[in-house]
Structure 1
Amino acid sequence: MARWEPGARERLVVAAVDLFAEQGYDATTVAQIAERAGVTKSTFFRHFPDKRELLVAGQETLRTLLAEGVAEAPATAGPMEAVAAGLERASSAMGPMNRELGPRLKAAVATSTVLQERDALKTVSLAAALTGALVARGVPDPVAALAGELGVLAFKRGYAQWSEAEGESDLAPYTLAALQELRAATVSLG
């Protein structure tokens, strides 16, 4: 086992997503994930407490990037401009592995209620990070909550489009376009 080689965490995530999609979440064991990733079970448990946590690998980093982007937006930026800054900051951290993993992760989540619940909790957590960062800027709570939810929805929509697109390597244009579409859609709500 090549447990000392760099990239064990990333290999574990890829192995788990592939196995979840191939044989289902319930039928996949930690031992299978570790074997496919080329590491030991002990190495698995150094990175993750259990197999459910593989789905949210990187969530804390994403939360931090979204919140930092909002906090660093110009003082004159309105709530949606601040959310756009958060989306740009978070999008900049997404690379080819994230793009390749998108459709496979979506397929894996679709196979399991446990993973769907974990994904929903991730969404709530990201919205809370955006909302909290907006409130810290002085945005009233209801406005901050709505902007935070729209930001997460834009991120998810943009990420889905980006992971299926040909050629484009930068996520930011997709998340920002999704945010603009959602802003335009809110006008039709009346």
Structure 2
Amino acid sequence: MDVLWNRLVEAAVERFAVDGRGGVMPHDLVKRLGVPAETVFRHFPDRDRLFVAVLGQVQQELFAHIEVSCPVIPGESGLSMILRLAEAYRRFLEERPAGYLDILPHGEKGAGQAETQSDRELGRLAARIAKQFEVLLLLGRLDGSVRAEAATDTAWRILHVVVGTVRLALTSQKARARNLRVMLAALAGGHPAAARAA
């Protein structure tokens, strides 16, 4: 990647942080960076390709945060790992501007709406996160900290609860963290004592 490409993506990520997906537009980069339009459009012929590049940067930031926030703890229960991972995602979203909420699912796609490359990338990101929870649910079923019937749909529900908790922001961060733990323990079917020990 060249230096100009990196500058364009960094500027688009800054705009994304403020205005979400709708704020990521090639013509905005022309104004913000003072580069010729043909230069921007040579790298990013349309808004969708620019947003895919932004998603690449945001995902790197997200998974670096998760890696640092959720080290492996030997002997930890599956439920405890689920709660820690959900908390790490909650903190990531709350510590960043509201635009970052656009990277995770919060509703159904409109009927008849064409799927773009960035839509597919967002879907892959959400599926990757849900898969993390699905693996932890499996571990929890094996160690008995999660109910036996918790499966893929439970993993997606966990992801939606995390995003909804942050998006609604009905309580203080401390209360949201506590409420998230209680909701997820109930959703996964864990025992309250296991949730408290996590």
TM range (shorter): 0.5 to 0.7
Task: Report the CA distance between 1:105 and its aligned residue.
Answer: 7.9
Identity %: 10
RMSD: 4.8
Residue 49 of structure 2: aligned partner = 50
1:19–1:109: structure 2 CA closer, same or farther, 3 Å change rule?
farther
TM normalised by structure 2 equals: 0.53
The one-letter code of the counterpart of 2:122 is D
Residue 87 of structure 1: aligned partner = 86
Q: Is there any run of 5+ residues in structure 2 with no aligned partner, and where?
A: 1-5, 191-198
Task: Report the CA distance between 1:81 and its aligned residue.
Answer: 1.0
The one-letter code of the counterpart of 1:182 is L
Tell me how far apart the structure 2 counterparts of residues 148 and 80 of structure 1 sit (CA, whole Å). 15
1:154–1:98: structure 2 CA closer, same or farther, 3 Å change rule?
farther
Q: What whole-Å deviation, never above 9, does each CA across 1:38-85 have from its counterpart, x for those lacking one?
A: 23538x86xx99234245652244345445555433x33211111111
Q: What whole-Å deviation, never above 9, does each CA across 1:85-137 have from its counterpart, x for those lacking one?
A: 122233333335444653798789846542543332112112334556788x8
Describe how 1:92-103 pairs up with structure 2 within 5 A. 92-95=91-94, 97-99=96-98, 101-102=100-101
Tell whether the 8 Å contact from 2:83 to 2:184 is kept in structure 1 after alignment.
yes
Q: Is there any run of 5+ residues in structure 1 with no aligned partner, and where?
A: 21-29, 186-190
Residue 188 of structure 1: aligned partner = none
The one-letter code of the counterpart of 1:72 is V
Tell me how far apart the structure 1 counterparts of residues 168 and 140 of structure 2 sit (CA, whole Å). 37
- Specify the SS of the correspondent of 2:93: coil
Tell me how far apart the structure 2 counterparts of residues 113 and 102 of structure 1 sit (CA, whole Å). 21
Tell whether the 8 Å contact from 1:52 to 1:118 is kept in structure 2 after alignment.
no
- Aligned match of 1:31 in 26, 29, 41? 26
Tell whether the 8 Å contact from 1:63 to 1:126 is kept in structure 2 after alignment.
no
2:10 is the counterpart of 1:11: no
Greater radius of gyration (CA): 2
2:166 is the counterpart of 1:162: yes
Residue 181 of structure 2: aligned partner = 176
- Specify the SS of the correspondent of 1:76: coil
Tell whether the 8 Å contact from 1:110 to 1:116 is kept in structure 2 after alignment.
no
TM normalised by structure 1 equals: 0.55
The number of equivalent residue pairs is 165
Task: Report the CA distance between 1:163 and its aligned residue.
Answer: 1.5
1:55–1:128: structure 2 CA closer, same or farther, 3 Å change rule?
same
- Specify the SS of the correspondent of 1:93: helix
